[in-house]
Each structure stands twice: as structure tokens, then as C-alpha cells.
């Protein structure tokens, strides 16, 4: 059998997987979990990468991670290495992290600072706008450097969040409206004047959708997250159908204080993909620390009230976030394989806050380190059970798990549309 025969088998099986995946998603019960292949089949994982992670807007990081010219971060979207760098004019640009000479990765560190981007293989050199500055005389007199700049990836920012899209044409949607709303809701935090305090990365042996599903409900919280429930109220948002009247009354009293300070808080959704809502924490607590007391002595931006609760920001397919008065926490999920995902958590504080004086990194991360590890175990056990031949799709609670239903509705509809 020739190499071309092997390629044809691969392409044929992928085409068959596309047809099967489309059929499974069209026929699925919307209030039930997905069929097993959508959680563990390598062909369907590849389709997820091509139809979701190579076509949709993805959260990658915060603008304050790259505050000055030449600061960069890198990220791997499947087999696609991407470089995000700040230019001299303050703009943030995303490029495919692959040299236009022989394709080598240019930046091989997670983050750094450079005057220019120099490929370590043959020293081709690019400026932070992606223009090729140097390729050596070996390329000959007819070589046109202007035609060999770095390939760009679409990049947009809103409220200090950085999003990229690897598609040639980004999807048409209400994404720009979401970014404008992010600008408004994040204004009090002054993200440009924050800094990364601490970061964690966890490799979970679970499909990325199981990681997101687990996040989209707190049905499991009472049995799994004692540290988190010291401060977190289990209601998903102000529209949660389970929320009792005493919670709604508590929210109203908190909202009055937020209004007095000009702090945005009202629920704002953009379909099932994006949502922003400010939720109070338990009475008597300020932020998500183990005892609910301050995480950093310096408040963020123009904030004066430590009792801001948590502004929850959802962005599908790969991020959820908690914005609080003295620090904020962002979460990013990136698929690695059909049954492995990378979960990154980052904690940010005021840029003038001094470690060991104004904040303790271990205290900041204590609650979510515990919670993330607990969720890792839950997702991995979920994956192991789904791998069984005995697994079949099971029903979701329309009250406790409505967030999971919303996520899978978005996922299923998006894949079907992108497969057309």
C-alpha cells in the first residue's frame, strides 16, 4: 500500500466522520448528554478542532500580560502555534508562529520580550508588526521581503481580553457588540494597569467539552467544592430558575450599592456563546479567598467598594472568568487530544501591588487550586465512564444543568452550521 493510499483512507474516514458527526448532532436530544463518539473519537476531535477551534473566536490572554513593545505570549491551538505581540504603537497583533522561510517556530517560550522576532533556525527577523526585516543576502537580489511577512491571525480585544480567530474569514456574529459591552463592564478594573500575579496549568485527561460541561453547572458543588462554597453562591446568574426570593432581595441590595458607584452589573447575554453578569458572593465575604477576606490590599482601577461580588464572564468555546474588587481570575481551556485538555488559570492584581506585602500568591490561588483539582478528578472520571461500552446519553436537569444544555446547544448548532 502506497503513502497516497494511506492518505486517501484517512481522508475518506474523515469525510465519513463528518457525515456521522452531523447526523449525531442533528438527531441528538437537546436535554441529554452527547453520544459517546463526540467525547472520545479522534476523528470527531479533529473535526472539533477544524470547525470550532480553527473557525471561532478564542480567548487567549489579557492585554496586561504584554504591556510594552516587544512583549509577547504564545499559545498552541491544536497543531497551530500562535504568537501574540505588542507593537510600538501599542497595538496587539497575532501571527502564526511559523517562519516564512522553512516554517520553524519563531518564539519557543511561553512568554518573553524581544526587540524583533528572530527565527532561531536561520535568523530571519521580523518586527512586531510581522514585517520581514532580514533574510540574509543568500536569498538573492530578486527576493522580495515584502511578500514574506508573518502570516497574521485575526486578533481583537475588549475590556482587556485578547481573542484570536484562525479562520480566513471570522464568523459573522454579534461578537463586536460583545467586545463593546466588555469594554463597558471592565472599565472599572482598568486592566491595562494590572499584572499577572500567578498562573497554573493543568492537563486533564478529559475531552474539552466535559471540562466546559463541568464548569457550566454547580449541581456537583455541594459534594465536591467545600473551599469554593465558602464564598460562592451556587446560583448561576440572576436569571437562574432555582434562585429563591431571599437571594433576589440580597442581589437587589447589593446592586443598589453598585449603582451608586457606577459599577455595571446587569445580566447581558449574546445568545448562548457570551454572557456577562455580576453576582454577589455570600454575605460577609469579599472575594474568593479561603476565608472570604481580601486577596490584595490594593483595589483594582477606580473600585472603592470591596463587596463587588464576582462579575462572571462566559465566552464559548473556551473561557470563564471571575472579576472581583481586588483581583480577578481568568480561565482558558485548550484541547490537546480527544481525551486530554489544558486548563490554564491566571490571577491578576493591581500593577503596583507588591508580592509578599500587598498580596500572597499562595493565598490568592488556594481556593481555585483546590477547585481545579477537584474538577479535574470529576472530568477524568466522567471521561472514563463515557469510554465504557455501557455508556449511553443521559438526561440533564433543566433547572440545575440548564447551563450545560445551553453550551451543548451552542456547540451542536455551531458545528452543524460550520460543516455546511
DSSP states of 241-303:
TT--HHHHHHHHHHHHHHHHHT---S-EEETTTEEEEEE--STT--SSSSSSS-SBSSPPTT-
Residues 281 and 232 sit within 8 Å (Cβ to Cβ): yes
pLDDT at 51 over 70: yes
Residue 3 has what pLDDT?
44
pLDDT at 6 over 50: no
**What is the rounded average pLDDT of the residues 393-417?**
96
Looking at domain 192-404, its CATH superfamily turns out to be Naphthalene 1,2-dioxygenase Alpha Subunit; Chain A, domain 1 (3.90.380.10)
Residues 239 and 267 sit within 8 Å (Cβ to Cβ): yes
Kind and range of the H or E element at 104? none
C-alpha cell at 42: 479522534
- For residue range 52-84, list pLDDT tens digits in order: 999 999 999 999 999 999 999 999 999 999 999
pLDDT at 11 over 80: no
Look up the CATH number of domain 58-165.
Answer: 2.102.10.10
pLDDT at 407 over 50: yes
Kind and range of the H or E element at 414? helix 402-419
pLDDT at 411 over 90: yes
Residue extents of the structural domains in the chain: 58-165, 192-404
- For residue range 264-298, list pLDDT tens digits in order: 999 999 999 999 999 999 999 999 999 999 999 99
Residue 363 has what pLDDT?
98
Residues 70 and 115 sit within 8 Å (Cβ to Cβ): yes
Residue with the bigger pLDDT between 16 and 315: it is 315
Residue 237 has what pLDDT?
75
Q: Comparing C-alpha atoms, which of 23, 29, 32 is closest to residue 394? A: 32
Q: What is the mean pLDDT of the chain?
A: 94
- CA 33 – CA 392 distance, rounded (Å): 8
**What is the rounded average pLDDT of the residues 309-326?**
98
**What is the rounded average pLDDT of the residues 320-345?**
98
Residue 8 has what pLDDT?
47
pLDDT class for 12, splitting at 50, 70, 90? low
Residue 10 has what pLDDT?
52
pLDDT at 107 over 80: yes
Kind and range of the H or E element at 323? strand 319-323
Q: State the pTM of this model.
A: 0.95
pLDDT at 2 over 60: no
The SS3 call for residue 86 is strand
**What is the rounded average pLDDT of the residues 387-392?**
97
Amino acid at each position: 500500500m502506497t503513502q497516497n493510499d494511506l492518505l486517501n483512507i484517512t481522508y475518506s474516514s474523515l469525510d465519513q466522520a463528518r457525515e456521522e458527526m452531523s447526523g449525531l448532532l442533528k438527531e441528538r436530544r437537546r436535554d441529554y448528554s452527547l453520544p459517546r463518539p463526540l467525547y472520545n473519537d479522534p476523528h470527531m476531535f479533529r473535526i472539533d478542532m477544524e470547525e470550532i477551534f480553527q473557525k471561532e473566536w478564542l480567548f487567549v490572554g489579557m492585554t496586561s500580560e504584554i504591556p510594552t513593545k516587544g512583549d509577547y505570549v504564545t499559545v498552541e491551538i491544536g497543531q497551530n502555534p500562535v504568537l501574540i505581540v505588542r507593537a510600538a504603537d501599542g497595538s496587539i497583533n497575532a501571527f502564526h508562529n511559523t517562519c516564512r522561510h522553512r516554517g520553524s517556530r519563531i518564539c519557543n517560550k511561553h512568554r518573553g520580550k524581544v526587540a524583533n522576532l528572530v527565527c532561531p533556525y536561520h535568523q530571519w527577523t521580523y518586527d512586531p508588526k510581522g514585517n520581514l526585516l532580514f533574510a540574509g543576502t543568500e536569498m538573492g537580489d530578486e527576493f522580495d521581503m515584502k511578500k514574506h511577512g508573518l502570516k497574521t491571525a485575526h486578533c481583537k480585544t475588549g475590556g482587556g481580553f485578547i481573542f484570536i480567530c484562525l479562520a480566513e474569514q471570522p464568523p459573522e456574529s454579534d461578537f463586536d457588540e460583545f467586545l463593546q459591552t466588555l469594554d463597558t463592564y471592565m472599565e472599572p478594573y482598568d486592566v491595562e494597569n494590572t499584572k499577572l500575579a500567578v498562573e497554573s496549568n493543568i492537563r486533564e485527561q478529559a475531552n474539552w467539552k466535559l471540562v466546559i460541561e463541568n464548569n457550566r453547572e454547580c449541581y456537583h458543588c455541594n459534594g465536591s467544592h467545600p473551599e469554593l462554597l465558602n464564598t460562592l453562591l451556587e446560583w448561576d446568574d440572576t436569571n437562574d430558575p432555582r434562585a429563591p426570593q431571599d437571594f433576589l432581595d440580597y442581589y437587589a441590595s447589593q446592586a443598589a450599592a453598585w449603582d451608586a458607584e457606577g459599577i455595571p452589573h446587569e445580566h447581558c447575554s449574546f445568545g448562548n456563546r457570551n454572557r456577562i453578569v455580576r453576582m454577589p458572593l455570600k454575605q460577609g465575604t469579599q472575594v474568593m479567598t479561603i476565608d472570604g477576606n481580601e486577596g490584595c490590599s490594593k483595589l483594582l482601577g477606580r473600585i472603592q467598594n470591596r463587596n463587588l461580588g464576582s462579575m462572571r464572564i462566559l465566552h464559548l468555546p473556551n473561557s470563564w472568568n471571575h472579576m472581583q474588587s481586588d483581583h480577578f481570575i481568568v480561565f482558558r481551556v485548550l484541547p490537546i487530544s480527544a481525551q486530554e485538555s489544558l486548563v490554564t488559570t491566571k490571577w491578576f492584581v493591581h500593577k503596583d501591588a507588591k508580592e509578599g506585602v500587598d498580596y500572597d500568591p499562595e493565598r490568592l490561588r488556594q481556593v481555585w487550586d483546590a477547585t481545579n483539582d477537584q474538577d479535574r478528578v470529576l472530568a477524568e472520571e466522567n471521561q472514563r465512564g463515557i469510554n465504557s461500552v455501557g455508556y449511553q446519553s443521559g438526561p440533564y436537569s433543566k433547572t440545575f444543568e440548564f447551563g450545560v444544555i445551553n453550551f451543548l446547544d451552542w456547540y451542536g448548532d455551531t458545528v452543524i452550521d460550520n460543516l455546511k
